[in-house]
Homo-oligomer: A and B are copies of this chain.
Amino acid sequence: MIILKLGGSVLTKKDSNHAEVNYKNLNRIATEIHNFFLVKDSNHDFADGLIIVHGAGSFGHPYAQKYQIGKPFKREEYGEKRIGFSKTQNSVNKLNTIICECLISKKIPCVSIQPSSFITTNNKRINTFNLNLIVKYLDEGFVPVIYGDVVLDTKLKVAVLSGDQILQYIAKNLKSRKINEIILGTDVDGVFTKNPKKHNNAKLIRKVSSLEDIEVLDSTTNIDVTGGMIGKIKELLELADLGIESKIINANKEGLIANALLNKKVKCSLITKNK
């Protein structure tokens, strides 16, 4: 089966100071997924399944930032923190509803899976996450669509749960399924030696096997390269340790998701321990 992550920077206008969908990208990507289904169906091999994970982009970050979700706080601030949680949850839920509506319009039988309804974290790392129902939806031919959300945290009361951590957890714990591919659609071609948006001579790192491949570089530059690329790679290296490879590709470019889904060769950074 395939796990496809769609970054918030691809599906929303991430730099917008208010929640805004990138409908052009969303519609195009939904069509690419639809086309993948057509090919798979004609090969009669779609029993494998697809899980989509998406980020929150400008639907999540502005609220999470404003209300400092996941940061320690005083007892008397809990009232305001709760409202921040409610607003963030409501906003990312809205984004998920829009994404699912678009997928449905392309005949993709998706099912929204809301993390805050059944997942908790402990100090920002997943604590409880029962995968049984996701497996059942896959068995029944649905495409689960799960996303970055806010959740209850046993230490911090409330925390942000990123789509990247969700992806890592599912890939690591979905024992009943063979994972054929993990694809992360971002707004850059992969992991670069420098910020590709600022430096013309930035080079794509085709294969990332450890954080050292990146940390020899100016770490501050790299940390802000693509808003959390380092965090993303840390999650993916945990999978690489288990022999599970993943690809970081540019989902802003037409056809790359379609090709990656069909396991065709695409420009990417491969996160792997294989030499």
Contacts and interface: CB of A to CB of B under 8 A. Distances in A.
A111 B101 contact: no
Contact of A86 (B83, B110, B115): B110
Given A118-B117, A152-B133, A83 B111 contact: no
Interface in A182-237: none
Interface stretch (A3-11, A22-30, A89-97, A257-265): A89-97
Interface residues of A, number: 39
A112 B136 CA distance: 22
B104 A87 contact: yes
Contacts of A77: none
Copies in the complex: 2
A130 B120 CA distance: 13
Contacts of A152: 133, 136-137, 140
Given A82-B109, A86-B103, A93-B100, 14 more contacts: A83-B107, A86-B108, A86-B109, A90-B101, A90-B112, A93-B93, A97-B97, A112-B116, A112-B117, A118-B130, A120-B133, A120-B136, A130-B130, A133-B152
B85 A111 contact: yes
Interface of A: 78-79, 82-83, 85-87, 89-90, 93-94, 96-97, 100-101, 103-104, 107-118, 120, 130, 133, 136-137, 140-142, 152, 157
